[in-house]
A and B are shown apart, each in its own frame.
Chain A
Amino acid sequence: MSVVRPYGDTTGDGMVQLSFTLPVKHDKVAEGAAVQLANKMGMDPALVVHAKAMGPDFTFFVVYGRVHHLVDTSKVEVVERDYPLLTPKEVNAAVKARLRRRLTVVGACIGTDAHTVGIDAILNIKGFAGEKGLEYYRELRVVNLGAQVSVPELVDRAITEKADAVLVSQVVTQRDAHLLNTREMSAAFREAFPAARRPLLVVGGPRFDETMAGDLGVDRVFGRGTTPGEVASFLVHRIKEKKAA
């Protein structure tokens, strides 16, 4: 059955729970306002089961109620990640099995961009969003070149470090600097390496469009909110593909 409703304790009862805060003092009006919000969100009837003042100006509510919406699972559209998300352990195991050596990742902010926030979030062990950065992975060797690295310098280091992957972060987008820099970088790598030997090129930053990889000449573009685990999983996925090819 592809058409369903939320399930409380009986099929089709449509029961959901919701909690939120309104910026009003706690009184009967506040509770009425909470019901009104729940009604507008489609809960009918809506039952305020808990209301608590948080200081003089805010009230916290827990609301239970019925929604009448139907969802059709056959009509759900999802953009699937085209590679599986792996745990650090699985990434390490995959690298060990495929390469029989550590996978080398060289990272940098290129051009005049001095914002290492992105590259550090992905590479530093400290990590991002509760996930440890790539330095945490035993089977990844991380060389973080930091900020304001020129493209020729990056290519040189990629050669000397025998990089399997190059990660570039771009935050500054004035006059499309992020796009120009990325194209310059990918062109330089294509020039310096035969196609089969070229390291994986990955760029990331808050203003990139993830569909632009082909246009920019890189293997993958990561947008806002990307976690280290996603990047690591992608790298492993691509070395597997390469090996298989």
Chain B
Amino acid sequence: MSTLDRKLHLDPATVRRARSLARKVGKPIVKLATGHTTVSVERATLRLAGLAGADSEGTPWVNRLADVVRADVGLEHGLALPVWDALVRGEAEDLSTLAQKAAVGSVRFRLPEGRDATRARSAAKKQVGAGVRRIDQRRKERDRLIKKIGDAPRQPWIYLIVATGDIMEDIPQAQAAAREGADVIAVIRSTGQSLLDYVPEGATREGFAGTYATQENFRLMRAALDETSKELGRYVRLTNYASGLCMPEIAALAGLERLDMMLNDSMYGILFRDINPVRTFVDQRFSRQVHARAGIVINTGEDNYLTTADAVEAAHTVTVSQLLNEYFAKEAGLEDWQLGLGHAFEIDPAVPESFRLELAHALLARELFPDAPLKWMPPTRHMTGDVFRGYLLDGFFNLAGALTGQGILLVGMMTEAVVTPWLSDRDLALQNVRYVLDAAGGLREDFRPARDGFIVQRAHQVLAESIDLLDDIANHEKGLLDAIADGTFGLMKRPADGGKGLDGVAKKSSGYYNPATEILEAAE
């Protein structure tokens, strides 16, 4: 960002202070995360090693194998040593056979020691390393395709959602949306998938208000969009959700199937899905390491705070969360261009000067994170079913996006809260976006909020409140965990020893080994 683009005159020392407080608050969480492992991190490691498929009841082999190994030797040492020890011992010729044998109880696992451990370790590293190399190849493939086919024509990238529940129905809808102008397609997941402690298998045709995230669904949709990308002469990106109890596994599958963006927030699962905080932070770190390696852009979920708390009163909680998401992301190896930090246009339109407030908040995010492709989310809370008024509100949302240089624009639908978008809703919504970008795309150059004016002052106020809140969090006895427990974010109270998925967390033993973490950490 050139100095000309600095419109808010933020004091660099204040910005540095905000970042250093975020680091202070985040650091103990990283320590906590590195000291623990989870069932999903271990299963993701098995997936990277190539273990796929499910038994006749649909339970994935990674779950079957992980459960048996855990019962035999516990989770705290990681699954790699006992699993590859069994393979080295010749219990089975490959992982898939081993999982099948384990499932019927014909293999017993042990924790190898000495030379056995060394052998198991090197076998594990070799096989998991091959999986990580496949992710590397997929990343290169993306770069190659973008070079060959061409990239999205302008920013913000236009982001559209499909959500039929049936992958076979999603595919033509996604292709149609891309033809209509979408640069990014997101496939919404089925309600409730975030709370499943396994990743469903295969192509799925029935979901509730969304389609299950499965490796096969990822593959089918990416292949279809590759076709459409070639037809349109621009690479159309695919988005899914690395969230919920299986986020590390879904991140690994996304890397393996060349997904391009993933929803991946450091605290969303805790706050909105009541998933245990420790489980979330451990799973988060691993999934972000995978995303970093895979060249995936993450989208964080700050917009969600504003759907529960008041968008004016809680504006600073968004900034605080963005700062924390940035710290956790960079710690895990993600770069600025991969940080789709979220925020939203959710101020009650009845509030006087609501549009100026929106501009202040959006500009603050833009200037605090100048090199991140911010994710700009449309109004949902104040969409009433009056589709005409909603269309106008979406127009103002688009204008705010253009004026403040947002990177990823989720297209607002006038039928938000009425129906899942119809073909015509999407078409009208895209006309709205195009009109605003064509008519005012360059207005950013001329837009200079008055130095001591309303917008600048409001942005400074939100930043000051964010610093106060970060200070407050840092002064909690147990820092961020306590702050989450007492309802600082989005009004939800989530104690560190509560929530779903806690039984899938283990404190690492001194002999813990995970080849995936080793390889991913070494890369940084």
B273 A124 Cβ-Cβ under 8 A: yes
Residues of A within 8 Å of B, CB-based: how many?
24
Give the residue of B176, B192, B492 whose beta carbon is less than 8 angstroms from that of A135: B492
Within 8 A of A (CB), among B404-427: 416-417, 422-424, 427
- Cα of A20 to Cα of B383 in the assembled complex, Å: 21
**With an 8 A cutoff between CB atoms, is A112 at the interface?**
no
**With an 8 A cutoff between CB atoms, is B454 at the interface?**
no
The answer to whether residues A54 and B427 also contact, given A117-B191, A130-B380 and a CB cut-off of 8 A, is: yes
Q: Which residues of A contact B272 (CB under 8 A)?
A: 124-126
- Cα of A20 to Cα of B490 in the assembled complex, Å: 39
A120 B422 Cβ-Cβ under 8 A: no
**With an 8 A cutoff between CB atoms, is B110 at the interface?**
no
- Cα of A140 to Cα of B467 in the assembled complex, Å: 31
A54 B424 Cβ-Cβ under 8 A: yes
Within 8 A of A (CB), among B379-396: 380-381, 383
- Cα of A136 to Cα of B304 in the assembled complex, Å: 13
Give the residue of A55, A120, A126, A132 whose beta carbon is less than 8 angstroms from that of B176: A55
B492 A125 Cβ-Cβ under 8 A: yes
B422 A21 Cβ-Cβ under 8 A: yes
Give the residue of B192, B308, B423 whose beta carbon is less than 8 angstroms from that of A125: B308
Q: Which residues of B contact A19 (CB under 8 A)?
A: 424
Give the residue of A54, A136, A144 whose beta carbon is less than 8 angstroms from that of B423: A54
Residues of B within 8 Å of A, CB-based: how many?
27
Give the residue of B176, B180, B491 whose beta carbon is less than 8 angstroms from that of A136: B491
Distance between A85 CB and nearest chain B CB, rounded to angstroms: 14
Q: Which residues of B contact A129 (CB under 8 A)?
A: 417
Majority-rule SS of A interface residues: mixed
- Cα of A124 to Cα of B274 in the assembled complex, Å: 8
The answer to whether residues A126 and B423 also contact, given A55-B176, A55-B180, A117-B208 and a CB cut-off of 8 A, is: no
- Cα of A54 to Cα of B208 in the assembled complex, Å: 27
Query: Across the two chains, which residue of chain B brings its CB closest to A147?
Result: B195
Within 8 A of B (CB), among A126-175: 126, 129-130, 132, 135-136, 138, 144, 146
**With an 8 A cutoff between CB atoms, is A116 at the interface?**
yes
Within 8 A of B (CB), among A3-44: 19-21
Q: Which residues of B contact A52 (CB under 8 A)?
A: 427
Q: Which residues of A contact B490 (CB under 8 A)?
A: 125
**With an 8 A cutoff between CB atoms, is A193 at the interface?**
no
Within 8 A of A (CB), among B325-356: none
**With an 8 A cutoff between CB atoms, is B179 at the interface?**
yes
B492 A117 Cβ-Cβ under 8 A: no
0/1 interface trace, chain B 487-512, chain A, CB 8 Å (1 if under): 00011100000001000000000000
**With an 8 A cutoff between CB atoms, is A222 at the interface?**
no
Give the residue of B176, B192, B307, B416 whose beta carbon is less than 8 angstroms from that of A116: B192
- Cα of A146 to Cα of B422 in the assembled complex, Å: 33
Within 8 A of B (CB), among A94-124: 115-117, 120-121, 124
Q: Which residues of A contact B180 (CB under 8 A)?
A: 54-55
**With an 8 A cutoff between CB atoms, is B437 at the interface?**
no
A125 B176 Cβ-Cβ under 8 A: no
**With an 8 A cutoff between CB atoms, is B399 at the interface?**
no
Further pairs besides A120-B191, A124-B273, A136-B308: 8, Cβ < 8 Å: A20-B424, A21-B422, A21-B423, A54-B423, A54-B424, A55-B179, A55-B180, A126-B272
Q: Which A-B residue pairs are the 4 nearest by beta carbons? A: A130-B417, A54-B427, A60-B424, A21-B424
Sampled A-B contacts (9; CB under 8 Å): A20-B424, A116-B195, A120-B192, A125-B308, A130-B417, A132-B308, A136-B308, A136-B491, A146-B500
Interface residues of A (CB under 8 A from B): 19-21, 52, 54-55, 58, 60, 115-117, 120-121, 124-126, 129-130, 132, 135-136, 138, 144, 146
